[in-house]
Amino acid sequence: MRVAIDARKLHDFGIGTYTRNLLRHLARIDRDSEYVLLCHEADLAIDRQLGPNFRTVLERSPNYSIREQFHVPWVLRRERPDVFHAPHYVLPPATQCRSVVTIHDCIHLMFPQYLPNRAAYVYARASMWSAVRRSHRILTVSEASKRDIIHFFNVPPEKIVVVYNAIDERFGMAPSEEEVARVRERFQLHHEFVLYVGNIKPHKNLVRLIEAFDMLRHRGFEEVKLLIIGDEISKLPALRRAVHRYKLHKHVRFLGYQPDETLAILYRLAAVFVFPSLYEGFGLPPLEAMASGTPVVTSNVSSLPEVTGDAALLVDPYDVESIADGMQRVLGSPALSAELRGRGIARAREFSWERSVVRTRALYAEVCAPR
């Protein structure tokens, strides 16, 4: 079996994490199939890390471009795979081979106001519609996302297969005391802190998190800090304005992107992890926090209750007071904090990249099998 995989988003958040773990575990479980990876020039050497049955080919087309609609199908015709896997929602209409597409969520359709312009919305909806109709099977990462896909595109439920994401193994491994001390000193973490990890995007609801944190401080938690880890704050000017409005410059810190090794320690040092997102196809950060033994407060909407089960404290992300109440309950109750830590570790163990990739590999074989 020859499988082509679009690996151009290898270094993104979300989809990049999904693609990296897909390739890593395919390399572990499958030495017989041939894998052809469509990569940008900077990633052409990735096949050396994966194994002799992996081969990279150059695909210069930018993601979400007109060029990819024509050039990706041309590459596929040249490489002649049995099945092509698009790990995000773009499946060029000219693709002739059998195909699997992963649609992680319907965020662009749920919140079109967060897209840069009307053209971006039209492109996203048209691309998803084409992928849903033309692909032979659809992968998604939660039952919540499956319901959304059915709602927006009226696709037969049996065409959609739910395969959960999982987390990197390092989040479940205790770091050394020296590593913890080094991170604590580097970031001067000498007070209790609330932690957020994720993209800096409007639907992540960070302005309400800032407002809730200000409310928390006025309830007697003046020494607690808030650490926000993600991409640049400049991507969401409203966030900076909220910090200025509540005079929180000395109490809210933006650490930008951090590698997984550092992130795993920051999770363990946090008093509580808060993730008040308005919408998630899956939501990896709460699971990473739970695997690290950190109590989690997260939203009661979309896939987050499905992913966290009974191991997190759920709040209404549209209600600032509800978010503040969740943080206060955990910070003010050692017993609740300890209970959430234990439940979170157990819940995180239920998710496995290896099991998920085994299911994905079986789907490739099913799709390219003779009819």
Angle at 40 between CA 34 and CA 46, to 5 degrees: 50
Residue 353, pLDDT score: 94
Under DSSP, the state recorded for 62 is P
φ, ψ (nearest 5 deg) of residue 188 = 55, 55
Instruction: Pick 169 or 43 by higher pLDDT.
Output: 43
The residue whose two tokens read 């049995």 is: 82
Predicted local distance difference test score (pLDDT) of residue 169? 81
- pLDDT, tens digit, 9 for 90 and up, residues 329-339: 999 999 999 99
CATH class of 2-166+352-368: alpha beta
Judged against a pLDDT cut of 70, whether residue 234 lies above it is answered with: no
Q: What confidence tens digit (pLDDT) does each residue in 260-311 have?
A: 889 999 999 999 999 999 999 999 999 999 999 999 999 999 999 999 999 9
Q: Give per-residue burial for 262-296: e unless 16+ CB within 10 Å, then b.
A: bbbbbbbbbbbbbbbbbbbbbbbbbbbbbbbbbbb
The pTM is what? Answer: 0.90
Rounded to a whole number of angstroms, the CA Rg of the chain reads 21
The closest alpha carbon to 171, from 320, 294, 34, belongs to: 294
Domain parsing of the chain, residue ranges: 2-166+352-368, 169-348
Q: Each residue of 72-83: pLDDT tens digit? A: 999 999 999 999
Does 2-166+352-368 match 169-348 in CATH topology?
yes
Question: Per-residue pLDDT for 235 more than 80?
Answer: no
The per-residue pLDDT for range 179-219, each reduced to its tens digit, is: 999 999 999 999 999 999 988 888 999 999 999 999 999 99
Give me the CATH topology for the region 169-348. Rossmann fold (3.40.50)
In a 10 Å sphere around its CB, with 0-12 CB exposed, 13-18 middle and 19+ buried, how is residue 206 labelled? buried
Q: How far apart are CA 64 and CA 165, in angstroms?
A: 23
Question: Is residue 342 helix, strand or coil?
Answer: helix
Residues 209, 284, 228: CA angle, nearest 5 degrees? 35
Contacts of 72 (CB under 8 A, 6+ apart): 6, 38, 59, 61, 92, 95
Listed residue (229, 336, 335, 346) closest to 291, CA to CA? 346
Across 162-182, average pLDDT: 90
